[in-house]
Amino acid sequence: MPPSTGIMAGEGCLLVMVVDVHPQLALHEGMVQSYLSSCISFANFHLATSVKNRLAVIAANHLETRFLYPQKNGEKADRQKDGRLELLSHVDESIMEELRIMMYHDAKVEQTESLISGAIGRGLLYIKRHEREDQIVNKIHARILVIKISSDTGSQYLNYINTYLTAQKINTAIDVCVIGGDCGLLQQGADISGGYYHSIQDMSQLLQSLILMYQPDISVRKRLNAPPPDSVDYRAACFCHRTLVDMGNVCSNCLSVYCKAVPLCSTCNVIFQTDRPLMKLPKKKK
């Protein structure tokens, strides 16, 4: 069931941003600065909208996920002399450099998909921890925003589905902004959790799309004239080749999906009784 409660007056929102920094982007030097600047600008915009808003940023590449903000050591930025808010300056300094480090880790990689599902899982755990800490004072309003640019292969299908069902259970919406093409798995997550999914083709549209479509709360979006949602692609990824299939074989024991008939389920080790003659059961002795 999608979240139905909006943010009341005087309450803030915890936004967990999951930023894709796959080294693929580093191959297009002209897009790197625009991409990172748009992500940082939107993070600053969220914090500047309300003094009660909170932010967390998790980066994901092909090797790891990393918490970039807030920092574990809890260090505070020095007072700025250029008129900027101290908090916003701290966001710029602590995030931008880490994003570049993860992006330029290894530009020549074969794995085309970032560990987005793991970053979403870490974001859900962060939200639950804050809910336990703040439940005595006030109810926390939180959502996750995924910004994805790398390719989609379906290799993390089970991990994605587990995070989507968890987000649905704890009433946390997962918003998704995809750059360069559609992502069926993330589209499923937005639909299951009650979030918003949108894809753009041009990097120059990123910041505008983030501010107009993803800054408003879930309840406020119903009053906006947003583009109608596309039909959701609910195809499953087969467990043998990790590709999306229109029709496949399903294990009756663990519901694993295979694109073709296999003699043994690789998930639960059940032997399928296909292409075998029926065996007569022995008669019971009286």
Side chain identity, residue 87: L
pLDDT at residue 116, as a whole number: 93
Domains and their CATH numbers in the chain? 14-221 (3.40.50.410), 235-286 (no CATH)
pLDDT at residue 220, as a whole number: 81
166-191 pLDDT, tens per residue? 999 999 999 999 998 888 889 989 99
pLDDT at residue 79, as a whole number: 43
Neighbours of 78 (CB within 10 A): 10
Segments in the chain below pLDDT 70: 1-10, 72-91, 93-94, 105-111, 135-139, 152-154, 229-230, 273-286
Contact between residue 113 and residue 151 where contact means Cβ atoms under 8 Å apart: yes
Task: Output the six-digit token pair for 31.
Answer: 């897009």
pLDDT at residue 169, as a whole number: 93
pLDDT at residue 242, as a whole number: 72
Interacting residues of 53 by C-beta distance below 8 A, sequence separation 6+: 12, 13, 14, 15, 46, 47
Contact between residue 194 and residue 218 where contact means Cβ atoms under 8 Å apart: yes
Task: Kindly state the helix (H) or strand (E) to which residue 60 belongs, with its residue range.
Answer: strand 54-60
